[in-house]
């Protein structure tokens, strides 16, 4: 397992998968911010104004983090941001379930599904992948290299 976690092709695959999911999620929300604002509002944690601001800002953060993760610009920072977002999403869904609120997750715009234990499990898988990227050594496919590495 340790060898696999240091394999540059495996790490690239994880970056493509996690980054791709975040890009896809972001694009679906950016395409319909009003629906996403209502999805945020349905969790009953913030008011209308903050729901709308979240709907305008959060998808762009997801998009930038996903793109940076895929192309290798600040991959660890991107993995850290994505890990933080996923941790928040998992906690949000868990709190919503405990409160007995039946809500669509809002994860993929109009393609969203019910916020339930399966969603927590799925997000936990994504979180595991992003944590692997966060704590694994940088790989050869990063666009930004350390100063002491040659660019050849």
Confidence label for 143 from pLDDT (cuts 50, 70 and 90): low
Q: What percent of the chain has pLDDT over 70?
A: 88
37 lies in which domain range? 2-135
Sign of CA dihedral 54, 55, 58, 61: negative
d(CA 126, CA 141): 21
pLDDT at 136 over 70: yes
Asked if the structure places residue 26 within a domain, the reply is yes
Selection from 51, 24, 19, 56 nearest residue 38 by Cα:
51
Asked if the structure places residue 42 within a domain, the reply is yes
Asked if the structure places residue 17 within a domain, the reply is yes
Element (H, E) at 150: none
Asked if the structure places residue 149 within a domain, the reply is no
pLDDT at 115 over 70: yes
Report how many domains make up the chain.
Answer: 1
Q: What is the DSSP letter of 108?
A: T
Asked if the structure places residue 140 within a domain, the reply is no
First-last CA distance in the chain: 30
Mean pLDDT of 24-32: 95
Mean pLDDT of 103-129: 89
Quick one: tokens of 67?
């793109």
Mean pLDDT of 75-82: 94
Mean pLDDT of 25-40: 94
Asked if the structure places residue 151 within a domain, the reply is no
Predicted pLDDT of residue 148: 45
Which has the higher per-residue pLDDT, 1 or 38?
38
pLDDT, the chain, mean: 88
Asked if the structure places residue 146 within a domain, the reply is no
pLDDT at 106 over 70: yes
Provide the CA 14 distance to its chain's centre, in angstroms: 12
Asked if the structure places residue 152 within a domain, the reply is no
pLDDT at 1 over 70: no
Which has the higher per-residue pLDDT, 141 or 26?
26
3-state helix, strand, coil in the chain (%, to 5): 70, 0, 30
Confidence label for 17 from pLDDT (cuts 50, 70 and 90): very high
């Amino acid at each position: 397992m340790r060898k696999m976690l240091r394999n540059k092709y495996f790490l690239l695959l994880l970056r493509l998968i996690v980054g791709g999911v975040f890009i896809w999620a972001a694009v679906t929300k950016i395409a319909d911010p009003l629906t996403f604002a209502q999805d945020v509002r349905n969790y009953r944690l913030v008011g209308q104004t903050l729901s709308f601001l979240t709907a305008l800002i959060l998808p762009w953060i997801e998009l930038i983090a996903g793109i940076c993760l895929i192309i290798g610009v600040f991959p660890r920072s991107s993995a850290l941001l994505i890990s933080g977002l996923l941790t928040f999403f998992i906690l949000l869904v868990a709190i919503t379930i405990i409160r007995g609120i039946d809500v669509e997750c809002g994860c993929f715009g109009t393609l969203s599904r019910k916020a339930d234990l399966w969603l927590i499990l799925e997000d936990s898988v994504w979180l595991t992948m992003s944590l692997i990227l966060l704590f694994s050594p940088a790989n050869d496919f990063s666009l930004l290299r350390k100063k002491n590495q040659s660019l050849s």
